[in-house]
Every structure is written in C-alpha cells, then in structure tokens.
Amino acid sequence: MDGLGTALGWVRGQQAEMERMLRTLVDVNSHTAEVANVNRVGDLLRECFSISGLTSETRASKATGNHLVWGTSAPGKRTMLVGHHDTVFPPGTFEGMREEGPLLRGPGVLDMKGGLLVVRFALRALAEAGVLDRVAVTVISVGDEEVGSEDSAPHIKALCKEASSALVFEAGRTNDAIITRRKGTGSMTAVAHGKAAHAGNAHEQGINAIWALARFIDGAQQLTSYPNGVTVNVGKVSGGIGKNTVPDRAEAVSDFRFVTMADGRALVDRFSEVGKAAEAAVAGARVELLGGIKRMPLERSDASLALMERYAAAARECGLGTPEAPLLGGGSDANTTSSAGVPSIDGLGPRGKGFHTQDEQIERETLLPKTEALVRFLWAEHLAG
C-alpha cells in the first residue's frame, strides 16, 4: 500500500475514536465569556493534537480564551487550517453531546469542534503514513471567534504572511457547499448630545438629543442597498430620563454588512455624512460616531476559485458534494485570512445544520469523508509529484 493509501486506510478505522473525542470536547461548555472553560477545551485540544512532527504553541490572551497554534517544520509556503474552540451558548442553556441515530447533537458539534477534529485526524493520518514532516502546514484555533476575533486577528494575520492558502473548518453546509464569499461586518454607535431642559417651563432652551438621533436613524437605515448587498440595521436605541425632560443624550447601535472592501469603507464615510446632516437638522445638537469595520469580507477571487477547485477535486474522490455556496451574511476567520491576501475557502467541517441554535447537529457519517478529503487535498498540495 502506498503512503496515501496508508493514510486513508487509517482514517477509515477512526469513526468511534473521532466520536469519543468529539464528545470529550463538546461536554465542556466553552462559551466565549467562560474563559476558564475555553482554556480547558484548549488543554484538551493540545492533548488531541499531540502528534509526532507537529509543534505546539499557546498564544495567551488577557481578554479571552487563549489561541493555539500548531505547525510542521517543512519548508515552503504553508497551508493554513483555521478553526475556533469557543461556542455561543452560556452555561445551562444547551449542554452535552447526544446521539440520535445518524445525528450527533450538542453545542459545538458543528460550530466548530467537529471541524477541529477533521483537521486533527487528517494530520494524524499523514503522521501514521510517515509523511507529515514533509507537509508545510500551520493550524490555528482561536478562543474568541464567536465575538469577532478581535484579540486573535493579529495572530491570524501574522501567520498569513507565510501562507499560500487558508482552509477554514466552520460548519459544513447542505450538499457540502464550499464557501467562497462572506459579507464583511461592522458596528456603529451614534451618540447624540443635546441640552437638557424642563419640557414645560423651558422647552425652548433645550436641544432634543432624541430628535437629532431620530434624524440619524432615518438616514442610516436608508444606507441599505439590497442590490449591492449592503445592509444597515439600527438594532438598539436608548435615551432620555422621562417625558417631561428635554433629553440631552441618546444612543443608537447599528449593525452593518457589505460585500466588498470598497463598499465597507464607503459605508463608514456615509455614516459620517448622515451624522452631519442630523446635526444640521437640529440646531445645537452634536452627533458622535463610535465604531467601524470589524471584519473585512471574504471576497471571491481567481485564486480562491482555483483553491476551491483543488479542494473540490479531493472532496469528490470521497463522495462529497462540491457546489459553491451562495454569499453568506455572517463573517468568520476566513474574512481575516482573505483580507490579508491569502486565498481562502470555508465551510469544510462535517455537514450539519442548526448552528447558533439548540438544534445544532452534524451528520455523523460525514466525519470521515471530510477528514479523507483534507488528507487527499494536503497530499495533492504538498506530496504529489
């Protein structure tokens, strides 16, 4: 049997062990805010990724769970394999893994502890075949993806400098669709400042901050352009102390999404224009803007399409589907790798549905094919020929 056959043969005997290891990870609640538990899962992952030929490093964080980096010493441009080990469910809301026939359910089975194990078992398979030391690969699992990866983004970007491609093992979609596009994300807080006054005795002396903010909200909502994939949602508003006081302060928090980097930068500029228009409409008011772009988009390019086709060729050999996913509104760490100039694809974890809900599940029969697909891809990228 050749080396690739050895690696694939090893994978095909790992279903029970893969599910056992997944249960171990899922049974520890690693909600992003539960830093000790995120780091506990990190400790378990370090044990899982204790593979001959793979170095291990912990990037400590003062604000969130730690970030973990593994890699081989093989020379050349590197393939980045990207994931996260935090989850969205606070303790007590959704706990533990359970089996339901062909499905495995639980917080993180799909998003994305299952994806991390696809990476782990693929690398272990290459080690079992005696070739891992020839595969230039870097793995990062971050502890803050579910809150925007602000702490981990600099680590991801630094690793991108040596990478030729990035594969992200977020939740696998229906028909194993490969993600090539995600919208960029941002937030903008508008704080309107006015002047307080008694609404009955000195109304004319006041400057109504809520009125100014209302002008801003109307303008901000009109920045939405569905044909261009741009959306603005003012989702939270607060201000004033009572109906008989002219309010001197009011605040609105907006979420915004965009398809291209250029659209994102233009949108920030237009928020500023809307703020100035609101000030002009309510004499004496001032509108302060706080925020901006959080994640640049995952944009499709010729290079990322070529990467998708190379991965798809490996996936088809394993009986998986390979359609291109439609544009997605939510961001991931693929946005970061893409904006750093690295061709990136996403959604390569086990197939499932229900992420961010208590119906989160994976199809257990896809764990091994997804692992085999990664083995075949890495073999073709680094060992073939």
Pairing, β 231-239 against β 344-345: unpaired
Closest CA to 78 of 165, 149, 19: 165
* Prediction pTM value: 0.92
If you average pLDDT over every residue of the chain, what do you get?
97
Cβ neighbours of residue 326 closer than 8 Å, sequence gap 6 or more: 177, 181
Residues 25-51: pLDDT tens digits?
A: 999 999 999 999 999 999 999 999 999
Would you state the structure tokens that stand for residue 122, as one six-digit string?
């693929």
Q: Report residue 72: phi and psi, to 5°.
A: -100, 170
Q: Picking from 142-146, 352-356, 381-385, which range would have the lowest pLDDT averaged per residue?
A: 381-385
3-state secondary structure of 51: coil
Exposed/middle/buried for 247, CB within 10 Å: 0-12, 13-18, 19+?
A: buried
Confidence of residue 62 (pLDDT cuts 50, 70, 90): confident
Q: Report residue 373: phi and psi, to 5°.
A: -60, -40
Exposed/middle/buried for 249, CB within 10 Å: 0-12, 13-18, 19+?
A: middle
Across residues 186-213, what is the average pLDDT? 97
3-state secondary structure of 267: helix
Residues 283-302: pLDDT tens digits?
A: 999 999 999 999 999 999 99
Residue in the structure block whose two tokens are 């109307």: 218
Distances from the Cα of 376 to the Cα of 296, 308, 321, angstroms: 30, 14, 15
pLDDT over 90 (residue 1)? no
Answer yes or no: are the C-beta atoms of 285 and 213 closer than 8 Å. no
3-182+298-382: in CATH 3.40.630.10: yes
pLDDT attached to residue 382: 97
Residues 232-284: pLDDT tens digits?
A: 999 999 999 999 999 999 999 999 999 999 999 999 999 999 999 999 999 99
Q: What is the CATH number of domain 184-295?
A: 3.30.70.360
- Give percent of the chain above pLDDT 70: 99
Delimit the domains of the chain by residue range. Answer: 3-182+298-382, 184-295
